[in-house]
A and B are shown apart, each in its own frame.
Chain A
């Protein structure tokens, strides 16, 4: 299996621009997670989906962030408008079962976002 695929791997944009991050989970996995990693806050869960439905988006920082999962093989995380404080590494992860606490989450390589 190819694992979790994220694109782009690096993104540099200017403040105010729209940014779209993409994720393809492992085929057959039912749950998908978006995380953000920064030096100050470490790894934080932003949102997760189960069977393409958003279950918990309490970690989404503010209305500038939105995430969608139109089908089982694709998800996007959009930031509009972007701000310098959004600079971070964004990880997508997927898990096989219904997202139970014992499930292993498999992480993608991440997208390093820099907002100038």
Chain B
């Protein structure tokens, strides 16, 4: 069975400082991993995805994530936070043969001026 754990429910950073949102996954197979962002009262937007190619994945808006199989992690990072990054971020796992996505519980990112 697949599962995903987002280690922090809330993260607060100052504008211009680095962002780190942590995600650990559990999967019986080689999973696909995604990060989605949800701005208030909006739908979910794909930030980036890992599908067994390069382990360092670059996404939109300066975000990137590194797949580390040995640590079963897929942490999301950004070098410099912007006010517009304030949102909820979801780490998502999907296994081969399964169309359903399994979502983490979400991490709410606050960006202080």
**Do the two chains belong together in a single complex?**
yes
Chain A residues packing against B (C-beta within 8 Å)? 4, 31, 33, 42-45, 48, 50, 55-56, 59, 91, 93, 95, 99-110
Q: How far is A50 from B100 in the complex, measured between Cα atoms in Å?
A: 12
**A102 contacts B43, C-beta separation under 8 Å:** no
* A-facing residues in B34-62 (Cβ within 8 Å): 34, 36, 42-46, 49, 51
When the two chains form the complex, which single residue of B36, B49, B101 contacts A45, counting CB atoms closer than 8 Å? B101
Q: How many residues of B contact A (CB 8 A)?
A: 24
Q: How far is A42 from B51 in the complex, measured between Cα atoms in Å?
A: 24
**B100 contacts A48, C-beta separation under 8 Å:** yes
Chain B residues packing against A (C-beta within 8 Å)? 31-32, 34, 36, 42-46, 49, 51, 90, 94-101, 103-106
Collect the chain B residues with CB atoms within 8 Å of residue A101's CB. 31-32, 94-99
Collect the chain B residues with CB atoms within 8 Å of residue A50's CB. 99
Minimal Cβ-Cβ distance residue in B for A93: B44
**B97 contacts A110, C-beta separation under 8 Å:** no
A-B contact pairs, 20 of them (CB 8 A): A42-B103, A43-B103, A44-B103, A45-B100, A48-B100, A55-B99, A56-B99, A91-B43, A100-B96, A101-B94, A101-B97, A102-B51, A103-B99, A104-B46, A105-B46, A105-B101, A107-B43, A107-B45, A109-B43, A110-B43
